[in-house]
Amino acid sequence: MIVPAEFYLVLATVLFFIGVFGFFTRRNLISLLISTELMLNAVDINFAVFNAYCHPEHLEGFFFTMFGIGIAAAETAVAIAIIINVFRNAKSIHIKNMIELKH
């Protein structure tokens, strides 16, 4: 017996909203980035599952997931470079010190 597609969708939903919860409650730039990765990962699962169960003859979801993984890698590299630079200048990566762009 194969696992129904809805099971995967429910799992991806739970993972996505765990990421949202982390994004609301964490107060540290690297933790925020980890929460973003969780959300991206859940969305990738959705793409792959919809492709495998609904349209296996086209590979749109497959390639969207693959390009999504590549873009996530690029985004993480740039974000971590920014975080390290912020830490070098502000001596902290706590979110309450990141107020220079506010005004």
**Which positions from 8 through 27 interact with other proteins, judged by CB under 8 A?**
8-11, 13-27
98 belongs to the binding site for other proteins (CB under 8 A): no
Q: CA nearest 76: which of 48, 45, 102, 39? A: 39
43 belongs to the binding site for other proteins (CB under 8 A): no
Q: How far is CA 50 from CA 13, 19, 59, 63, 85, in A?
A: 14, 21, 10, 12, 39
Q: Please report how close the Cβ of residue 28 comes to other proteins at its closest, in angstroms.
A: 5
Ramachandran region, residue 94 (left: φ > 0; alpha: ψ -120 to 50; beta: rest): beta
Member of 71, 100, 102, 103 binding other proteins (CB under 8 A): 71
Member of 67, 99, 101, 102 binding other proteins (CB under 8 A): 67
**Which positions from 46 through 65 interact with other proteins, judged by CB under 8 A?**
48-49, 52-60, 62-63, 65
